[in-house]
Chain A
Amino acid sequence: MARYIARRLLLAIPVLFGASFLIFAMVFALPGDPIRALAGERALPAAVQAQLNEEYNLNDPLLVQYGKYVAGLAQGDLGEDFRGRPVSDILEQTVPVTVKLSLVALAFEAVFGLIAGVLAGIRQKSFFDSLVLVTTTLVVSIPVFVLGFVAQYVLGLKLGIFPIAGVASGFSGYLLPGFVLAALSLAYVARLTRTALVENLRNDYVRTAKAKGLSPMSVVGKHTLRNSLIPVVTFLGADLGALLSGAVVTEGIFNIPGLGRAVFQAIQNQEGTVVVGIVTLFVFVYILFNLLVDVLYAALDPRIRYE
């Protein structure tokens, strides 16, 4: 087990560096002058432009820029935006909002996804099973921003059940965007759970458990579900990427002052440092989360440890 974890950790290092360098290169090496963009319509005096270029290391070659950035990162310095606001400040304000939104989404996924999947799985080919299949296919096909508008229009505007946008009204403001953010993954969790459950219910140990006279409840709950959850748990790791991308859209539509909205605004203003700071954070969180899930996977499924 320790060897497995060590190997996974070692494999993650080049990925972390590679991903952050790739992002850095994409933002800085491609055309587009951030200082000129900052100035807007009127061009800056050459001297000011030169000084700003110097201040933000824009004259250095890409590799040197990246080196300085990583060195700063190691000292907890995430850089600052062009108005002099440290990126770490922006993070401090927005991270709790996005974390809260993601947790709400995750809770929706886990609770409704599992329930739908289990109910569909134990009654294969029943009406409910078909319903889950049809609904999940539909949900998967509807892009998040379309779903967001539909929810906003129907549940917020027409029925008035939820606040339309913002988080001023407290927790209830998170429910609708959280649900929209969760919808896609919820569909996948339901399908995965159903498929895994159906497969596992065919196994010999299930027949043995039934033959022993265990109640259907404990056959499914204790024996089958536990094995069926393994793919679901690993899915949740990959899912974080979808949640983070979805947050950019969802927070934009529902005007949630989180990281997603911050990324989007920073991109509009061509504020490379902020984009790199936040997206690198996204990517790091994503990779680390996947690492965690892989380790968890090994703990859940002993076969993985000895590959």
Chain B
Amino acid sequence: MSEPRTPTTRGTGGPEPSAALDRDLLAATPSTTSADGAPVPPGSGGAPSAQSDDTRQASLWSDAWRQLRRNKLFLIAVVLLGVLTVMAAFPGLFTSLGDPREGGCSLSNSKMPPSAQAWFGYDIQGCDHYTNVIYGARVSMIIGLVVVAGSGVIGLVLGALAGFYGGWFDILVARLTDIVYGLPIVLGAILILNAFPNRGLLQVAVALIALSWMTVLRLFRSSVISVKETDYVAAARAMGATNLRIILKHILPNALAPVLVYSTIAIGGIIAAEATLSFLGIGLQLPAVSWGLQINSGRNLLRTAPHVIFFPSIFLSVTVLSWILLGDALRDALDPKLR
């Protein structure tokens, strides 16, 4: 294989990806190597090899699960994310007032501070701020999951092709990766979104996907390269396995752990990025309900009605924190080096 001399995890775009969300990789990367040896080489012991493959594979995850169950931070994060997910799916369970966009607001309540009737006070339009904030969860959760899933698929497919086949395609992908790493995510997204006068979830998601697929690609590409010359892959090929089967059955399971850890943490970063863009006025637009927009609407009310900024900020930060805690817990559990 003519492997270009570019290092797998470092490129011209810098030793580390630009966006904050990518930085945690620093700690996540070691598990790439640790997970590499997980599958059983064929012919170890007399046990049926197909079955031993399965049990060994399960042991990484069941070990991790055993450790996760004892981790308080993991449990806290799961509970918080559970509540937020329900909030995103069925906001009506938390508030009786219905979608804040469908009326129910009275200008006479504008900027009223929190009280027994309105726990979070009222916003500048006189809408119940508690309802606003509850309904804001949906956009954040959707953006986080969709963007990370989308960039994950792109990263896995391109990473598999580049790592497995190498050659000119690999070089092309590596250069493209370097170039996109050269664009800090918020700045790049500003440039892309600027071109759309009407921006909704789709546009914001596409812009963020376009700027965040590279890390999964590099993680997976280096996993593919480190595994493809191993004996068990040669054995699989000798038995007539197709390339697709080798990638899906033998390489993907081993590379999954670091990708999963990175993706979980990345969801938090993407949610923060969406809120930042909406706050700047270049992400979602009214009448969308987004924490970033709510914080933006309170920008000039810091003196008179700080609660307008305060509550969405808390929810936003807790959501991002929950994903990061979950990712941290997964990393601790999936990286045997830390045990």
Interface residues of A (CB under 8 A from B): 8, 11-12, 14-16, 18-19, 22-23, 26-27, 30-32, 137-138, 140-146, 149-150, 152-153, 157, 184, 188, 192, 195, 231, 234-235, 237-238, 241-242, 244-245, 248-249, 252-253, 263-264, 267-268, 270, 275, 279, 282-283, 286-287, 290-291, 293-294, 297, 307
Contact = CB atoms under 8 A, between A and B. Distances in A.
A244 B184 contact: yes
Which of B182, B325, B328 has the most chain A CB within a 10 Å cutoff?
B182
A252 B282 CA distance: 13
Given A244-B184, A249-B276, A293-B15, 11 more contacts: A15-B13, A15-B178, A15-B179, A31-B197, A137-B321, A137-B325, A144-B276, A152-B302, A192-B26, A245-B19, A287-B14
A14 B271 CA distance: 32
The 8 lowest CB-CB distance pairs between A and B, nearest first, are A30-B195, A241-B18, A141-B321, A238-B16, A290-B14, A18-B179, A241-B184, A245-B186
Interface string B310-330: 000100111011001100100
Interface string B291-311: 000010001001100100100
B268 interface: yes
B280 A146 contact: no
A252 B303 CA distance: 17
Interface string B185-212: 1111011101111000000000000000
Nearest to B275: A143
B15 A297 contact: yes
Interface in B12-40: 12-20, 23, 26-27
Given A138-B321, A297-B15, A145 B27 contact: no
B303 to A, nearest CB: 7
Contact of A248 (B13, B183, B187): B187
B100 interface: no
Given A26-B191, A144-B276, A149 B324 contact: no
B279 interface: yes
B41 interface: no
Given A237-B15, A252-B280, A283 B183 contact: yes
Contact of B317 (A141, A152, A231, A248): A141
Nearest to B17: A238
B174 to A, nearest CB: 10
Nearest to B24: A140
Interface string B235-250: 0000000000000000
19 contacts: A11-B12, A14-B179, A18-B175, A32-B194, A32-B195, A32-B196, A142-B321, A143-B320, A188-B20, A188-B23, A238-B18, A242-B20, A245-B185, A267-B282, A279-B190, A286-B18, A290-B14, A307-B5, A307-B7
Interface string B166-179: 00000000011011
Contacts of A267: 190, 194, 282
**SS of A interface (majority):** helix
Contact of B184 (A231, A234, A245): A245
B175 A15 contact: yes
Chain B, interface size category, equals 35 or more
B262 to A, nearest CB: 15
B190 A263 contact: yes
A117 B237 CA distance: 49
A12 B178 CA distance: 9
B179 to A, nearest CB: 4
B303 A157 contact: yes
A242 B181 CA distance: 12
Contact of A14 (B7, B17, B26, B175): B175
Residue among A15, A18, A23, A234 with the most chain B CB within 10 A?
A15
A19 B183 contact: yes
A235 B276 contact: no
Contacts of B276: 143-145, 249
Contact of A146 (B176, B185, B306, B316): B316
Contacts of B188: 26
B272 interface: yes
A149 B302 CA distance: 8
Given A31-B196, A290-B15, A143 B317 contact: yes
B12 A291 contact: yes
B281 interface: yes
A35 B87 CA distance: 44
A142 B312 CA distance: 12
A286 B184 CA distance: 9
Contacts of B191: 23, 26-27, 275, 279
Nearest to A149: B309
A187 B295 CA distance: 24
